[in-house]
Amino acid sequence: MTRENISSYTMQISQANASQLTCIAYELWQTFMAEAMSAYESGDLPGFSQQLRKVQRVNQEIISMMNHENACAQDVMAIHFFINTRLVKSMLKQQPVDLDRVCEMVKKLQASFIELSKADQDAPLMQNTQRVYAGLTYGKDSLNESADPLGQAGRGFLV
């Protein structure tokens, strides 16, 4: 993942509520899985295992974000536990074990969470961050983003 991608995800995370954060986690899951599969296809087995460990960490983070008391969330967690077993098997065997099936499951879960996040009107989880405005100016090849400089007074620690 490039520094530009990391910066983009950081900005998205700072402005996201709980359901949007889950959607971002699914995007990260798919990004790391695509990197793992490209590493496998190029014959880089240590890179394949390293990327699968990243996928596994994101998978565990998605499980921890679920409401453990909700019956529907328990079903989603069971799917993620199955995904975790396939990731571990793939790491041990150094080859993809049902990862194509797992990717399809994650795409369906991601689509459902995207629909859920459209209805979610909660405030962002991070309270003390700058607002980011996109589209105010354009660069030669990209869209420029700028932070709200007037929001500086309430930031940081007060001693």
Per-residue buried b or exposed e for 88-123, using 16+ beta carbons within 10 Å of the residue's own CB: eebbeeeebbebeebbeebeebbeebeeebeeeeee
pLDDT at 88: 95
Environment class of 149 (CB within 10 Å of its CB; exposed 0-12, middle 13-18, buried 19+): exposed
- Chain segment 91-144, per-residue pLDDT in tens: 999 999 899 999 999 999 999 989 988 887 776 666 666 565 555 455 556 655
Which two tokens mark 39? 């590493």
Q: How many whole angstroms from its chain centre is CA 158?
A: 32
pLDDT of amino acid 51? 95
C-alpha 36, offset from chain centre: 15
Domain ranges of the chain: 3-116
pLDDT tens column, 47-84? 999 999 999 999 999 999 888 888 888 999 999 999 99
CATH code: domain 3-116 is: 1.20.120.340
Q: In the prediction, which pLDDT does 123 show?
A: 66
Residue with token string 């991070």: 126
- The more confident residue out of 88 and 138 is 88
| Total residues belonging to the chain | 159
Instruction: Please say if the pLDDT value at position 150 is more than 60.
Output: no
